[in-house]
Amino acid sequence: MSAMADKEAIENAKVLMVGAGGIGCELLKTLVLTGFKHIHVIDMDTIEVSNLNRQFLFRKRHVGQSKAQVAREAVLRFRPDVDIVAHHANVKSPQFGVGYFQQFNLVLNGLDNLDARRHVNRLCLAADVPLVESGTTGYLGQVTVHMKGTTECYECQPKPAPKTYPVCTITSTPSKPVHCIVWAKDLPFLKLFGDKSLSNDLDVRSSGADSSVEQEEASFFDVQDGESSKAYAARVFDRLFGQNIDIALKNEGAWKERRKPTPLYLDSIWTSEEKYDERADHGSENGHENGSVQEEKPKDDGAALSAMTGLGLKNPQEIWSVKDNARVFLETVRLFLDNRKEELGRLTFDKDDQLAVEFVTAAANLRANSFGIPMQTMFDVKGIAGNIIHAIATTNAIVAGLIVLEALKLLGKDRGASRMTYCLEHASRKLLLMPCEMDVPNPKCYVCSQTPLVLEVNTKTVTLRDVVNKIARKKLGASFPTIMQGYNVLCETGDDIDKHSAAIYEAKLDTKLDALTPVPLVNGVEITIEDLQQEFSCIVHVKHREDFSEEEDDQMRLGGLELLTATTTVVAKDTDVALKATVDVHAASLDEDLVMIDGENAPVVKRKLEERQEPSQKRLKT
C-alpha cells in the first residue's frame, strides 16, 4: 500500500468526526466526496443565524435544529450511499467512552473549545486511535496529527490562556476598548439582569469599601416600588456613568499620571430644548419611536428583540454618537424589564442575544467616552465580548482538506509522512501552507507521559471543593474527577455514584485540606486525581505554602516537580545542544522551562530552537 490509502481502505474505514460547525461542515463534505462511507458525527450545538454565512450545509429553515442531524441529512442528499450516524450530544457524555472510541480507525476534530479537545485527546490516547486535530482563527489555520507513543499528544505543549485583565484596571482605570467591554459585560449587565446572588470580582469598587457601602450599591440596582422601566433606566444611567465617575475622581492620587475621566449625566447629553420624556420615549434624530419594537413583536420573542430597530440604527458597523449610545442604553434596559421580565435574574451574556449585545455596546461606549477611549461599532464589540475572531469560510475549507490528506496518510500506514501544517495569512517563502515534522511526545507531559505534578497550596485555608473545581476540573480537565490519598477516596463524581456515597463526598467538600480525615492533606502528602471515563490518572504532590501573590488569589499553584525546591535546572534533552535554565519558581516568566499546564504560566521543556521561531522557520517538509 502506498503512503496514501487505497480505495478499499478508505471505503472500509470507520471515522469519528467531532464537531459539525465551521470546519465540520467542510470536513464532512470532503470526507464523503473522497470516498469515506462510514462516519459518526458528534455535536451538541444547534444551528444559529450567525452560522449561516460559512456553515454551508445549513439554511435559514434549519435554525434551532441539531447541527449533527442537519449536516447528515444535507450530505445524504448528494451521497445517499454513505452510512452517517449523527449524535446530537456532548462528546463528554459517558456514552462516548473508551470502548466507543476503539471502534474507529481515525478521530477527526473540528471543535471550538479547549475543554472538549483535551477530553477527546485523552480518550484517543486510552483507545490508541490516531487523532487529527485542527483549528482556525480568521485567515490562520493549523492541522496536527497525534499518535500514541509516536508523536506528542494535544496536551504536550501549552495552549494560550484566555486573556484576563486585573480587576482594578477594569473597574477603575480602563485604557483600552476591551477594558470597557469586559466591564459592561461583567458588571452592569450581570447586576441589572443576571443572578445577583453570584459573587463577582467586579462587584466591589475598592478594597476599602465597607459592608454598608456594598449593600447600598447592590440594592441600588433593584427596581423600586412604583418605578417605571424608563425612570429606572435613567436612574441607573446617571449612577453608572455620572455618580460613580465623580466618586472615582475624589481619589486624586489615581489621576496624577492618568487622564481624568469625565462624568456623563443624561442632562449633559441633551440640549436644553429636549425634555426628559423625549429622551426616554423617542428614538434617534430620524424620529422613530422606541415603542415601535414591542408593538411589532410578541413579548416572548426574547433574543429577537432589538433596540436598534426602534431607534432607526440600521448599520452595526457604524460607530454610534454619544447621544445614540445613551438612547440604546435606555431602550435596552426598558425592553429587558418590560418584554423579558421572566428571564431577569438568570441572564448571562450571549453573543447571539441581539439585545444583550446592544446593551453591552452602548454601556462600553459610554464608559469609553468618559475615559477618552475610542468607541467601537456593535460589530466589533460583539466580536470582542464573545471572544470572536470572525471566521473565514475559505480557511475552514482549506483546513478540512488538510485534515482529509492526513487521514489518508494514516490509513496508508505511512505514519512517518504525517505533518503538522500551518495555514498562513501572508505567504512565507512563497508558501501559504507550511508543513512541519511532528514532534515526539513531551517527556514532561502529565497526560501522555504521566509526569507527577506539584500542588502548592495553603492547606489551612483551601477546601477540598477548591481542589476539585479549580485544579481537577479546570486545570487538569477532568470531567468526572476522583481524588484519592492512597486507598482513601476523598471525592468521587459522576452520574453512577449511589446517593449515600454522593452525600458522604459532598459533606467533605467544604472541609479545609489540613482537616480532612482519615488523612489530612498537608505538606508532603501525595494524592491521585483520576477520571475513569478518560482513563486519565495523575499523581500530585502537596506542598504547603502561605506567601501567595495577589495574582494567585485562590491560594494554589500547579506545576512540575521543580516546585518541590526553590530553584531547579531543567535540561531540554531533545535539543541539538542541551539548553539549561535556572528557574526561580516564585517569579517564573512566560518563556521559562517549566512543566506544561494548560492555561498557566507553568514550566515546560523547551523545544528545539528552530521550533520556537515562526512556522516558516521550522523544519519544513513537502
* pLDDT tens sequence across 608-618: 333 333 443 44
Residue 51 marked in a binding site: yes
Q: How confident is the model at residue 272 (pLDDT cuts 50, 70, 90)?
A: low
538 in active site: no
DSSP percent split of the chain into helix, strand, coil, nearest 5: 40, 15, 45
Is 321 found in the same domain as 193? Answer: yes
Q: Is residue 16 a known part of a binding site?
A: no
- In sequence order, what are the residues at sequence separation of 6 or more whose Cβ sits closer than 8 angstroms to the Cβ of residue 140? 395, 422, 423, 424, 425
Taking CA atoms, 47 is separated from 57, 67, 375, in Å, by 10, 6, 31
- Phi first, then psi: what are they for 386, rounded to 5°? -95, 10
- Residue 622 in any domain: the answer is no
Q: Any known ligand binding at 112?
A: yes
387 is in an annotated binding site: no
**Same structural domain, 228 and 364:** yes
Give the end of a domain, one of 531, 559, 587: 559
**495 or 37, greater pLDDT:** 37
pLDDT of 177 higher than 60 = yes
Tell me: do 359 and 294 sit in the same domain.
Answer: yes
Query: Structure pTM?
Result: 0.66
Q: Binding site annotation covers 43?
A: yes
User: In this predicted structure, what is the pLDDT of residue 618?
Assistant: 43
Asked whether residue 436 is marked as a ligand-binding residue, the answer is no
Q: Confirm or deny that 117 is annotated as ligand binding.
A: yes
- For residue range 425-477, what is the model confidence (pLDDT) as tens digits? 998 888 899 999 989 999 989 999 888 999 999 999 999 999 999 999 988 99
Does residue 289 have a pLDDT over 60? no
pLDDT at residue 350, as a whole number: 86
Least confident interval from 42-56, 135-149, 151-165, 192-206: 192-206
156 is in an annotated binding site: yes
Residue 616, domain member (yes or no): no
Domain harbouring 257, CATH code = 1.10.10.520
Grid coordinates in use for 557?
499553584
Q: How much of the chain, in percent, has pLDDT values that exceed 70? A: 78
Q: What is the DSSP letter of 320?
A: P
Whether omega before 518 lies within 30 degrees of 0, making that bond cis, reads yes
**423 appears as a binding residue in the annotation:** no
Q: What is the pLDDT of residue 5?
A: 65
| 247/276 same-domain check | yes
CATH number at residue 530: 3.10.290.20
Give the model confidence (pLDDT) of 520-564 as tens digits: 999 999 999 999 989 999 999 999 999 888 767 678 988 876 665
Of the pLDDT bands very low, low, confident and very high (cuts 50, 70, 90), residue 588 is very low
The answer on whether 20 is annotated among ligand-binding residues is: yes
Indicate if 430 and 486 belong to the same structural domain. Answer: no
24 has binding-site annotation: yes
Q: Is residue 362 annotated as involved in ligand binding?
A: no
pLDDT at res. 286: 39
- In whole angstroms, what is the distance from residue 511 CA to residue 469 CA? 14
For residue 330, what is its C-alpha cell?
435606555
Residues 351 and 294 in one domain: yes
Comparing 622 with 91, the larger pLDDT belongs to: 91
Q: Of the residues 539, 559, 579, which one is the last residue of a structural domain?
A: 559
Q: Is the pLDDT of residue 373 over 70?
A: yes
> Does residue 207 share a domain with residue 63?
no
Which pLDDT value is given to residue 309? 87
3-state SS, residue 285: coil
153 is in an annotated binding site: yes
**In the predicted model, what is the mean pLDDT of residues 362-380?**
95
Q: What is the pLDDT of residue 574?
A: 29
* pLDDT beyond 70 at 184: yes
- Can you give the pLDDT at residue 429? 86
The pLDDT, as a whole number, for residue 364 is 96
- For residue 491, count CB atoms less than 10 angstroms from its CB and return exposed for 0-12, middle for 13-18, buried for 19 or more: buried
Q: In which domain, by residue range, is 121 found?
A: 7-158+390-437
Residue among 25, 168, 436, 538 flagged as catalytic: 168
Tell me: pLDDT of 318 over 80.
Answer: yes
Q: What are phi and psi of 84, to 5 degrees?
A: -120, 125
So what's the pLDDT on residue 276?
45
pLDDT at 49: 77
The reported pLDDT for the residue numbered 441 is 93
pLDDT of residue 580: 26
Q: Is residue 444 part of a domain?
A: no
Regarding whether 148 and 281 lie in a shared domain, the answer is no
Is residue 124 annotated as involved in ligand binding? no
CATH of the domain at 114: 3.40.50.720
**Residues 30 and 136 occupy one common structural domain:** yes
pLDDT for 417 beyond 90: no
Q: What angle do CA 570, 575, 577 make, to 5 degrees?
A: 90
- Is residue 440 within 8 Å of 574, Cβ to Cβ? yes
Asked if 508 and 534 sit in the same domain, the reply is yes
As a whole number of Å, the end-to-end CA separation of the chain is 20
Q: Is 113 annotated as a binding residue?
A: yes
Instruction: Read off the pLDDT of residues 49-107 as tens digits, 9 standing for 90 and up.
Output: 778 888 999 999 998 899 999 999 999 999 999 999 999 999 999 899 999 999 999 99
Q: In total, how many domains does the chain have?
A: 3
Domain-located, residue 505: yes
Average pLDDT value for the chain = 80
Within this chain, do residues 368 and 234 fall inside the same structural domain, yes or no?
yes
Q: What integer pLDDT is reported at residue 199 of this predicted model?
A: 53
Q: Which of 144, 143, 154, 148 is nearest to 120 (CA)?
A: 154
Q: Phi, psi at residue 483, to the nearest 5°?
A: -115, 125
Q: Are residues 48 and 127 in the same domain?
A: yes
CA distance 388 to 162: 12
pLDDT value of residue 392 = 87
Q: Is 445 a known ligand-binding residue?
A: yes
Please check the confidence at residue 607 and state whether its pLDDT lies above 60. Answer: no
| CA–CA distance, 509 with 516 (Å, rounded to integer) | 9
